[in-house]
Each structure stands twice: as C-alpha cells, then as structure tokens.
Amino acid sequence: MSRTAGASRAEPLRRPPRLAPGARVAVVAPSGPVPEERLQAGLDVLRGWDLDPVAAPHVLDRHDEFGYLAGGDADRAADLQAAWCDPAVDAVICARGGYGAQRMADLLDWPAMRAAGPKVFVGFSDITALHEEFAARLGLVTLHGPMAAGVDFLKNARAQEHLKATLFTPESVRTLASDGTALVPGRARGVTLGGCLALLAAGLGTPHTRLSARGGLVCLEDVGEEPYRLDRYLTQLSRAGWFDGVSGLLLGSWTQCGPYEKVRALLADRLGGLGVPVAEQFGFGHCDGALTVPFGVTAELDAGAGTLTLDEPALS
C-alpha cells in the first residue's frame, strides 16, 4: 500500500478471528527488554485461560550496546515475522513496550505477513508504531491492550478479564464504559485509531503512518511526559493537519505526566477547539485496569456517558 492509499480518511478494517480454547499465542518483544520473571508470570496467566502460549526465541534478549532494546533489530523483526507467518499461531501478543518498534518495522516482510492471513495482534505504548503499520500495510483490526509481561497486566484482574473477554467472547464487550467525564460533551461516530501520543507524533512523515485521522475516533494516552512535551506532540499533530476532520476523541491515562489538573488544562487548550466530543479519563493505556480498545472498528462515542459502543465485535 502506498503512503497515500487509503490514508486520507479512517476506514473500518478487516477483523481477525476470535480465539478458542487451545489456541496458540506467540509472545514477542518488538521493543524493550523483558524481565524473565514477568514473562513467565504472563505465560502462566495465558495458560490459565486455556491458551497455548509460546515465547519467541529472542524475547529475553538484550542489545549488547543499547540496553533499552530487546536484542538486535533483525532478531526482533524475525521473531514477529516468524510468529505471524506460522500457520499454527492464532495470535501475537507483545511482551512489553519501551522503545524499538520503529527501528524494526521496515525489516518485516509485509507481503508475506499479508499472505499469512488475519490474526490477533495485541500491544500498546511503543507498539503504537506497529498498530499504524498493521492498519496501513495489512488493513487489519488490532487490539490496543495489556501486554503479557506488563506489570499493569500481571497485577490487575480487571485488565486481564477485559482482554480475555475481547479475545474469546468479543460480543460481550461491545460497549466499553469508563468512569471518566466529558471534556467536551456530545456523541460522535467514527473508526477507532490512535495510541501513544508521542509515537503518533513521531510517526508523522514516515511511509506507512496515516496522513490524517479524518473520520476517526482518536484514542490518545501517554506516560512519563512533562506537560510541555505533550503540548509539543499535540501542536505538531495539529499543525500537520492530522486532527482535521476527526469525529471525536477518547483520552486515556496520563501517568507520570504531572498533576492531572495541569494536563487537563493543556488537553482542553489543544483539543477543545476542534469542535468534536472529547471523553477524558477513559481508562485505557498506562493505568490500572486498562481496557482493551480495538483499533479499526466503527463505533459510537458518547462522551457524556463515558461509553464507546462498537458497531460489531472487535473479532469475528
């Protein structure tokens, strides 16, 4: 797919099949290094769901020089591609985020991955870069949700149960409900997309990141960023025209980004003038009990009620 093909407006994407008991799930590390004890704990959770989890060969690697990477770019890419192209694998779940997905995205054989057919892909944070690639290159719905070795997943039953329901019985979680409020009230319809704000801004200008979020219900969150840096990312996306024509926005967690009242004021300043509904504190991202949000599905946002209702289940 070219950089401009299908990039001018968010469109619904192809839904992969749901999982069934006994499904094989590959756990990969496209970004940062993974602590072994957390990986093992995550595999145990997946086994408890009657899945057959397998760790990719390089999932516990650490780069010799750049310790923030889970091994070399080629090895991380090879793990993801091998898992995706293995006909015995039904889903690929990332172990954690961190940094590194952008570095290996162009090392993947995307035509081979497209030929392998639709599968479930799960991750968030730095994995935002791959959500964009999967949308552009594979035309595939992906799940912005907890990762297998994430502390927020291992220690939180709500996050586990919502991901499990999305994987096995997606019709039971067609409505995502938050405890948040409306930054800007109203209702809107569109196709879900988004992820980590810093990664969306970093993707601008790259070949397979969408040019615009027009027609989308944009989900945004981040972690560990000072308000001025959030301001920079939002302003960059705005100046690039990325927000032009969006249908609505869902704002997730802003953990370690400063006092929320300051973050909220910034979000209102940068996003309130778009003239679309904006729901805040929606409960996805780097937070306890994070919801799993499918990207690439048509849905309706009711910012006042704090609900996102999918037109159809995330998985077929």
The pLDDT tens digits of the residues spanning 187-209 come to: 999 999 999 999 999 999 998 88
Strand duo 182-184 + 278-279: pairing: antiparallel
Superfamily name with CATH number, domain 24-173: Murein tetrapeptidase LD-carboxypeptidase, N-terminal domain (3.40.50.10740)
CATH of 175-310, one of 3.30.1370.60, 3.50.30.60, 3.30.70.2740, 3.40.50.1000: 3.50.30.60
pLDDT recorded at residue 3 = 37
Indicate which residues carry an active-site annotation.
125, 221, 286
107-140 pLDDT per residue, tens: 999 999 999 989 999 999 999 999 999 999 999 9
Question: 255 and 286 in contact (C-beta within 8 Å)?
Answer: yes
- What's the confidence (pLDDT) of residue 8? 66
pLDDT in tens, 59-114: 999 999 999 999 999 999 999 999 999 999 999 999 999 999 999 999 999 999 99
The predicted structure's pLDDT at residue 207: 87
Work out whether the CA dihedral 250, 255, 259, 263 comes out positive or negative: negative
Interval 28-58: pLDDT, tens: 999 999 999 999 999 999 999 999 999 999 9
**Among the listed ranges 3-12, 137-146, 273-282, which one has the minimum average pLDDT value?**
3-12
Q: Where does the chain have alpha helices with state H?
A: 36-48, 73-85, 101-104, 110-115, 128-133, 151-154, 157-168, 197-202, 227-239, 260-271
Handedness of CA 200, 204, 208, 214 (dihedral sign): positive
Mean pLDDT of the chain: 95
Mean of pLDDT values over 290-301: 98
- Domain boundaries of the chain, sorted by first residue: 24-173, 175-310
The predicted pLDDT at position 9 comes to 84
- Could you give the 3-state DSSP secondary structure of residue 303? coil
> Are the beta carbons of 111 and 79 closer than 8 angstroms?
no
More confident residue, 180 or 266: 266
Give me the pLDDT at residue 309, please.
98
Strand order in the sheet with 182-184: 175-177, 307-310, 298-302, 187-196, 216-223, 248-255, 278-279, 182-184
Number of Cβ atoms within 10 Å of the Cβ of 289: 16
Q: Is the pLDDT confidence value at 6 over 60?
A: no
Is residue 210 pLDDT above 70, yes or no?
Answer: yes
Cβ neighbours for 214, distance < 8 A, ≥ 6 positions apart: 8, 9, 10, 244, 245, 246
Neighbour order of strands in the sheet with 120-123: 52-55, 24-28, 91-94, 120-123, 142-144, 293-295
Q: How far apart are CA 153 and CA 290, in angstroms?
A: 8
Identical fold for domains 24-173 and 175-310, yes or no, is no
Residues with Cβ within 8 Å of 2's Cβ and at least 6 positions away in sequence, in order, are: none
Q: What pLDDT is recorded for position 181?
A: 92
pLDDT at 7: 55
Overall pTM surpassing 0.75 (yes/no):
yes
pLDDT at position 97 is 97
Percent of the chain with pLDDT over 70: 97
pLDDT tier, 2 (very low <50, low <70, confident <90, very high otherwise): very low
- Is pLDDT of 5 > 70? no
In the chain, % of residues over pLDDT 90: 94
